[in-house]
Structure 1
Amino acid sequence: MEDNNSRCSLILFMSLLLLLLLPFASAEIKNLKITADSRAMILFEKFGFTHTGNVLISVTEVTYSSSVSQPDPSRFGFFLLSDEALIRVLLEAEENPNFCVLDSHYIKLLFTFKDLLPQQSFNHSYPVTAPNEYSLYFANCAPESQVTMSVRTEIYNTDNGVKDYLPAGQTQLPMLYFLFSLAYFVFLGLWIHVSYTNKHSVHRIHLLMAGLLLSKALNLICAAEDKHYVKVTGTPHGWDVLFYIFQFLRVVLLFTVIVLIGTGWSFLKPFLQEKEKKVLMIVIPLQVLANLASVVIGETGPFIKDWVTWNQVFLLVDIVCCFAIIFPIVWSIRSLRETSKTDGKAARNLAKLTLFRQFYIVVIGYLYFTRIVVFALRTISAYKYQWVSNAAEETASLAFYLVIFYMFQPVEKNEYFVLDEEEEEAAEAALRDEEFEL
């Protein structure tokens, strides 16, 4: 029993860690199949409830067995648990060697397998009248036992009798994503206008940047439709497939554009060096893997056995890609610094050096904000205001796009390259000072 208790404590702790690390997808109507599963705890999903919440669970085709003895059906059950209560349950598990989470006073027990007898199936709706964010768990407190069952979950809040399948903190997301998609479509129109007006200054990178804006706008409109249909019906009606397609295109294009701009491709040189090609060859396959992990996380949920592994893959790949795209920018800055010492056009080289330094700062700021600040907002925000972290992330992304596109816009007289004689002399002096400091 102590071994079972330690397993339960470990899984509860891992659940707490994952609840902090990653927000869950919207609580769609889900049909799940559990086969010969021996886990002491299975986390199904997390949902923010209002005072008019409901949990409908249907369990069929239930079988369970143990290699030790005939299991007690009351040792298998479903329950709701808030993040605050989870910490208290962890303390209970540490203090009691015979602890079973189904006996805790801090959980909201829904039902046990004892309620299934004799038909071995169950279908019931439970009202949630205490507003909070709860996680839905299944517990197996029978030693060395395995469970097989089909589970259908339907979690929602009601507003004037109308079901809302999005958590309380995400119900604003359809409108939020729709407004940001409009902003990107307007942005794309302006970019096309600027490019057409200055078509003699358009490089191939500007076409990729236009493709990035289009994929971002389509990704957001699909996200808005996905969330809208989940909110109203509980299922995305295929919009999730389109969302993942444009999400993949958007992320790959974003990292590719950052790498290409960072190397100076199409601005400083018309070709890529071997080491820069290797960065692209690393980043793009990793983004494919990251998007695959994102699909598994979003479409399956934490109930699958490998969900933790896929989360770890997603986080690791994201970190590696973020580091990888920084190197080409650093290489360009170093190359420009060296060229500035020998090239006679000091002001032009200094302007390019300034440009790529600013680009480096903007990229670092964007990565820091979307990976750390947004995570902090998700962690500290009340469950009713989870949409704030989404709004902050999209606002930061839009600001990043605006700054980068302004810096590298296809205009004939770019501010970084239009310099008079006084600026040329000042640039030469600045380069001499920099060389002296180095």
Structure 2
Amino acid sequence: MMLSRPAISPSALAVAAALVVLAFLSRCDAEIRRTEIRSDNRRIIPLDDFGFTHRGQLELNASRIVFDPKPSPSSEPLSNIGFFLCTRDAWFNVLKQLQDSDITCALQSQYIKLVYTLEKLGSNEDRFATVFSQDDANQYTLVFANCLSQQFRVSMDIDSAMYNLDGKSGTRDYLSAGKTVLPRIYFVFSLIYFVLSVVWVNVLYKKRVTVFKIHFFMLAVVLLKGLNLLCEAEDKSYIKRTGSAHGWDILFYIFSFLKGIILFTLIVLIGTGWSFLKPYLQDKEKKVLMIVIPLQVIANIAQIVIDETSPYGHDWATWKQLFLLVDVVCCCAVLFPIVWSIKNLREAARTDGKAAVNLMKLTLFRHYYIVVICYIYFTRVVVYALETITSYRYAWTSVVAAELATLAFYAFTGYKFRPEVHNPYFALDDEEEEAAAEALKLEDEFEL
């Protein structure tokens, strides 16, 4: 009962803030990307990554090309400024050549695939369009190189579209090789969560006598997870066919935001034993919720900015670090209530006469604590390591690993805290059982 007042206000503000942000941003997690360069004098500007098959294509368009100051062709040839594709391994060779002074510009290296140099522009032209065919399957980075003097700054608008052609039909696939199966993966997992939702509703109906409020929290998390994955599947499917998300990204962000808020809230409530061990929250536990909910708002806004901007923008790395920091803080914060519950149960086992019951609860919550730690560690560390070391052709494996871990965690939580009369997690002490029995007796007499 005491949960409602402090929790409603920040949640409402969080939802409002997220919806305002979502209304003005559309996701650019697509292989048709627009990059704006303004008065930039960096020698190397990576633009985007893509995994090509043997029938890859790059469409590159640049407009509003402006130099400040305008270079002289005799002293600053425009052949030293342009675009190229490069693999990660080849880039190390290019850096070695530059270090050994074998070349003075990355565009001169034999390890790159030259796409376009600005010497091909006419004297009065400020735009160009080119199509580059890539038949060497690998993961490439599209790079803009400016080997002019440091005083020269470049401004331009760059539109790039990278895709692979299907071998039979010749249709375009805008998803990187290794990610082209993601729409089906997300759709299958969304169906699994919808089936779990139906199963859970059936369980709640059959065991409605022993259902607590927290069981409806669990149902909400499963439903939002299924809707989130369904929107992600549609999002990736549209990107695969057209190169853009067509609005499904907005729904994805909304359900992702709501799912994240309720999931972390659920872990906090379970860790405190709210609803099935005690119908109230202590002040320090309320403070955890007051901290976690705003942090989740920040994390979701950071995720939107990360998806909306180029991976190599000036502020992209800052937002990425902010997202990781907030995510780690949230994961640590939700563990404190579980630690407090274990501490309280340990003290109660030593002081009162119900040591056996309290020790049993202590052991059970220790098990859940370990599972939460393993889930957080696997989804934050192991999945990231798997994504880093796996070949680009198998980029989907990290997604499957993360979703399987999440599914296992949800299934474990639902099974352990299912509404059963003899569920040890819901075990009450003698006084609580007597009070519950007396209340039930009075209720029956009133109904009669």
Question: How far is the alpha carbon of 1:105 from its aligned partner?
Answer: 2.1
SS in 2 for 1:74: helix
SS in 2 for 1:242: helix
Q: 2: CA distance between counterparts of 1:67 and 1:382?
A: 43
1:121 maps onto 2:127 in alignment: yes
Question: How far is the alpha carbon of 1:241 from its aligned partner?
Answer: 0.9
SS in 2 for 1:209: helix
Question: How far is the alpha carbon of 1:32 from its aligned partner?
Answer: 2.8
1:393 maps onto 2:397 in alignment: no
SS in 2 for 1:319: helix
Question: 1:231/1:93 Cα in 2 relative to 1: closer, same or farther (>3 Å)?
Answer: same
1:145 match: 152
* Contact 2:193 2:226 (8 Å CA) reproduced: yes
* Contact 1:37 1:147 (8 Å CA) reproduced: yes
SS in 1 for 2:338: helix
1:84 maps onto 2:93 in alignment: no
Q: Select the residue among 353, 368, 373 that pairs with 2:362.
A: 353
Q: Select the residue among 25, 45, 49 that pairs with 1:46.
A: 49
SS in 2 for 1:167: coil
1:410 maps onto 2:419 in alignment: yes
1:311 maps onto 2:326 in alignment: no
Q: In the alignment, residue 33 of structure 1 is paired with which amino acid?
A: E
Deviations for 1:27-48, whole angstroms, at most 9, x for unmatched residues? 4312332222233222211111
Q: Percent identity?
A: 52
TM (normalized to structure 1)? 0.86
SS in 2 for 1:210: helix
Deviations for 1:232-258, whole angstroms, at most 9, x for unmatched residues? 111111001111111111111111111
Deviations for 1:171-190, whole angstroms, at most 9, x for unmatched residues? 00000000000000011111
Q: 2: CA distance between counterparts of 1:235 and 1:107?
A: 28
1:285-434 pair list within 5 angstroms? 285-416=294-425
1:135 match: 141
* Contact 2:103 2:109 (8 Å CA) reproduced: no
1:158 maps onto 2:161 in alignment: no
1:235 match: 244
Q: Select the residue among 26, 33, 37 that pairs with 1:34.
A: 37
* Contact 2:30 2:245 (8 Å CA) reproduced: no
Decide which moves more: 231-240 or 107-116.
107-116
1:72 maps onto 2:74 in alignment: no
- The runs of 5 or more residues in structure 2 that have no matched partner are 1-26, 429-448
- The runs of 5 or more residues in structure 1 that have no matched partner are 1-23, 420-438
Q: In the alignment, residue 140 of structure 2 is paired with which amino acid?
A: Y
SS in 2 for 1:166: coil
Kindly indicate whether structure 1 or structure 2 has the higher relative contact order, using CA contacts under 8 Å at least 6 residues apart: 2
Q: Select the residue among 168, 177, 186 that pairs with 2:177.
A: 168
Q: 2: CA distance between counterparts of 1:310 and 1:340?
A: 46
CA RMSD of aligned residues (A): 2.0
Question: 1:201/1:94 Cα in 2 relative to 1: closer, same or farther (>3 Å)?
Answer: farther
Q: In the alignment, residue 272 of structure 1 is paired with which amino acid?
A: L
Q: 1: CA distance between counterparts of 2:264 and 2:99?
A: 45
Question: How far is the alpha carbon of 1:145 from its aligned partner?
Answer: 2.1
Q: In the alignment, residue 126 of structure 1 is paired with which amino acid?
A: F
Deviations for 1:3-30, whole angstroms, at most 9, x for unmatched residues? xxxxxxxxxxxxxxxxxxxxx9854312
Q: 2: CA distance between counterparts of 1:91 and 1:320?
A: 40
Question: 1:302/1:117 Cα in 2 relative to 1: closer, same or farther (>3 Å)?
Answer: farther
Question: How far is the alpha carbon of 1:97 from its aligned partner?
Answer: 9.7
Q: 1: CA distance between counterparts of 2:367 and 2:28?
A: 36
* Contact 1:27 1:155 (8 Å CA) reproduced: no
Question: How far is the alpha carbon of 1:307 from its aligned partner?
Answer: 0.8
* Contact 1:27 1:47 (8 Å CA) reproduced: no
1:225 maps onto 2:249 in alignment: no
